[in-house]
Amino acid sequence: MGKAFKYGDNVDTDVIIPARHLNTSEPSELAKFCMEDIDKDFVKNVKSGDVIVAGENFGCGSSREHAPIAIKASGVCCVIASSFARIFYRNSFNIGLPIFESKEASSAIQMGDEVSVDFETGEITNITRGEKYKAQPLPEFMRAIIDADGLINYIKKNIK
Amino acid sequence: MGMTMTQKILAKHAGVESVTPGQFIEVELDMVLGNDITAPVAIKEFEKMGATDVFDKSKVSIVPDHFTPNKDIKTAQQCKFIRDFSMAKGIENYFEIGEVGIEHALLPEKGLVVAGDVVIGADSHTCTYGALGAFSTGVGSTDMAAGMATGKAWFKVPSAIKFNVTGSFQKWVSGKDVILHIIGMIGVDGALYKSMEFSGEGIKNLSMDDRFTIANMAIEAGAKNGIFPVDEQTVEYIREHSKREYVAYEADGDAEYDEVYDIDLSSIRPTVAFPHLPENTRTIDEVGDITIDQVVIGSCTNGRISDLRAAAEVLKGRKVKKGVRVIIFPATQSIYLQAMKEGLMEIFINAGAIISPPTCGPCLGGHMGVLAEGERCVATTNRNFVGRMGHVESEVYLASPAVAAASAVAGKIAGPEDLE
Ligand code: SF4
């Protein structure tokens, strides 16, 4: 459970983690600059368990895995958006950042709302407004990767 | 039901007769690519995985192009890290700066991708090789790590949008204008998760360089890949650059498409994308009065020889407007050399431009031409997001090399036709 940070459509990877900070791949370093070019107070205000909520095409742009890594390392527990850019989508699963597609939740949740997400069912509860929304359930194949705790462990099991 | 060109390539590489959109498959990879930003993360994941060797030393490419020549100590460390890994694992396609270039211009030029291949790259513009009739797409570092270790990747089979191309260009119009026009029409998420398949009698009027530019920006419409049919020009290009066997796939006659668009090349005007999204397009006739501070001509989108020729044709005998900084960055060493032989570099220098070594540099606001607060740049690159080339209050306008060069002379956004 945590507070929602709300953004609009087409939040791109250049604002999530600007290229000038890509001379490192350390999660804790990256987290210091997370969302810097769209919300310079984000890093100051974010707490463990908080949620990012956004509109269409979240994470568009570069393939930098640094983007979901920075978000995860900042303490955010999941991202909810109307839709995700495809590379960001697969990167998030691969590194173990849960993401949920829900147009309903994306439009209803406002900045600062208290939100909780059931990762099993995809049910999103807005505590501030007393509302519930449904996110798309995860495809089976994704579940397999998530259940193995990310692609690395999934492969590790199969590499032997 | 028939399959699209992309679906056929994926089915073959998954070892199955046919695939349908939405199906999850695991495919064999012909090439796995990474650069100096994404490979360090991938290598750490590769090691965490417990992998010892890469699946095939000839099918991994590691290209330090983003912050090279090393711009600071941290990037030098990152480059050293990937160099050491490449040497230790015997990776054949690691390119040191004397032979390097921007990855998406370099791989086709070195003959490392041919028609029918499946390629993943930990860089979003990996979709560029669709110009050669290959399936290629951008992934993240973890996918790259898994690809290096196993030679495989998972995909959800995409549906497709078809672009039926007819006609031929007016003077000063090129591939960049086509793709900006398309993104303006369908939006930055217009092809989300899908393939963009190009076909039609007008394809023959697109040079290979035009096709590379168009496929390069498929990701800017959200697409999984962009792909062109294999014709005489493709075969000639592959023969010239590679010794590898290629396979030409064709979409089935009854393949299904989510949408079909007609693109008449003769009706396309030079097009500019305004800040801060590639979909904010206007034709050159609608741009109004936008004064500029910098022009960059190059990148994996438009740093090839025909791009430099177009820019030189405009700049020949002209001068860059006082107060405008012009940076030309050829995409590879061999393009650089070719431009020298043709006298293009002399034209650029005489016009008042500076020439950068092959590097991504200014394209991602990395180095070699970063923008200050409030500055405006016309760039032949592919992204104009907030802060992409520097300060968060700077602005990037995307255009073709011809328009970028004309803007450099005019000191404001202009087409070659607007110059005296
Ligand atoms: S030139 Fe720009 S878009 Fe192309 S690979 Fe380099 S940073 Fe990416």
Closest CB to B37: pick one of A61, A64, A150. A64
Q: Does residue A63 belong to the interface with chain B, where contact is any CB pair within 8 Å?
A: yes
* CA dist B391 → A63, B59, B279, B386, B396 (Å): 21, 38, 21, 8, 11
**Contact residues, chain B, for A23 at CB < 8 Å:** 67, 71-72, 74-75, 78
Say if residue A103's pLDDT is above 80: yes
Contacting B residues, span 106-125, partner chain A, CB-CB under 8 Å: 121-124
Residue A158 has pLDDT above 90, yes or no: no
Give the span between the Cα atoms of A150 and B187, in whole angstroms: 32
Which positions in chain B touch A39 (Cβ < 8 Å)? none
pLDDT of residue B242: 98
Pairing between strand A78-81 and B294-298? unpaired
Which residue in A59, A106, A53 sits closest to A78, CA to CA? A53
Q: Do A57 and B48 touch (CB under 8 A)?
A: no
Q: pLDDT by residue (tens digit) across A19-52?
A: 899 988 899 999 999 999 999 999 999 999 999 9
Helix axis angle, B141-150 to A151-159, nearest 10°: 10
First to last CA, chain B: 56
DSSP B215: H
Interatomic CA distance for residues B6 and B19, integer angstroms: 10
Q: How far is B71 from chain A (nearest CA, A)?
A: 10
List beta partners, residue A54. Answer: A81
Partners of A37 on chain B (C-beta within 8 Å) are 386-387, 392
Sign of CA dihedral A135, A136, A142, A148: positive
Strand partners for A132: A125
The sheet that has B60-63: what strands, in order across it?
B93-94, B60-63, B31-35, B118-121, B135-138
pLDDT at residue number A150: 75
Task: Provide the Cα torsion B58, B61, B62, B63; round to 10°.
Answer: 130
Cα(B297)–Cα(B213) distance, integer angstroms: 13
**What per-residue confidence (pLDDT) applies to A152?**
87
> Which residue(s) pair with B294 in the sheet?
B325, B377
| pLDDT computed for residue A159 by the predictor | 60
Residues 9-48 of B with CB under 8 A from A: 24, 37-38, 40-41, 44-45, 48
Residues within 8 A of A (CB atoms), B 139-158 only: 139-143, 145-146, 149-150, 154, 156
Tell me, using a 6 A CB cutoff, whether residue B102 lines ligand 1. yes
Which pLDDT does position A44 carry in this prediction? 96
Taking an 8 Å cut-off on Cβ atoms, the answer to whether B146 and A155 are in contact is yes
Question: pLDDT tens, position by position, for chain B (420 residues)?
Answer: 899 999 999 999 999 999 999 888 999 999 999 999 999 999 999 999 899 999 999 999 999 999 999 999 999 999 999 999 999 999 999 999 999 999 999 999 999 999 999 999 999 999 999 999 999 999 999 999 999 999 999 899 999 999 999 999 999 999 999 999 999 999 999 999 999 999 999 999 999 999 999 999 999 999 999 999 999 999 999 999 999 999 999 999 999 999 999 999 999 999 999 999 999 999 999 999 999 999 999 999 999 999 999 999 999 999 999 999 999 999 999 999 999 999 999 999 999 999 999 999 999 999 999 999 999 999 999 999 999 999 999 999 999 999 999 999 999 999 999 997
Residue A89 to residues A101, A142, B83, B383, Cα–Cα distance (Å) = 10, 11, 29, 20
Question: What is the pTM assigned to this prediction?
Answer: 0.94
CA separation for the pair A10, A137 (Å, rounded) = 22
For residue B103, what are the contacts with CB-CB under 8 A and spacing of at least 6?
B33, B35, B61, B63, B65, B121, B123, B300
d(CA B363, CA B214): 17
d(CA B27, CA B137): 13
**Three-class SS of residue B329?**
strand
Whether chain A has a CB inside 8 Å of the CB on B204: the answer is no
- In tens, the pLDDT along A69-82 reads 999 999 999 999 99
Q: Is the pLDDT of residue A160 over 60?
A: no
Cα(A60)–Cα(A7) distance, integer angstroms: 14
Distance in angstroms (rounded) separating the CA atoms of residues B393 and B86 = 39
Alpha helices per DSSP H over chain A: 13-16, 27-31, 42-45, 66-73, 86-95, 103-108, 140-147, 151-159
Distance B254 CA to ligand 1 centre (A): 36
CA distances from B400 to B84, B179, B235, B308, B382 (A): 38, 10, 26, 11, 10
Using pLDDT thresholds of 50, 70 and 90, give the confidence band for residue A148: confident
Specify the pLDDT at position B345.
Answer: 98
Residue B124 has phi, psi (to 5 degrees) of -65, -25
Residue A6 predicted with pLDDT over 70: yes
Where are the alpha helices (H) located in B15-72, listed in sequence order?
Answer: 38-48
**Which residue(s) pair with B136 in the sheet?**
B119
Confidence label for A119 from pLDDT (cuts 50, 70 and 90): confident
List C-alpha distances in Å: B198 to A37, A85, A138, B188, B229. Answer: 36, 22, 32, 18, 7
With CB atoms and an 8 Å threshold, state whether B192 touches A85: yes
Residue A115's pLDDT is what? 97
- Residue B418: closest CA among B265, B272, B277: B272
Q: How far is the CA of B37 from the centre of ligand 1 (A)?
A: 11
B281 contact partners, CB below 8 Å, separation of at least 6 = B180, B181, B183, B184, B271, B272, B273, B274
In DSSP terms, B220 is beta-bridged to: none
Give the nearest partner residue to B41 out of A19, A25, A156, using CB atoms: A25
Paired strand residues for B297: B328
* DSSP assignment string, B90-103: T-TEE--TTT-B-H
DSSP 8-state symbol, A75: T
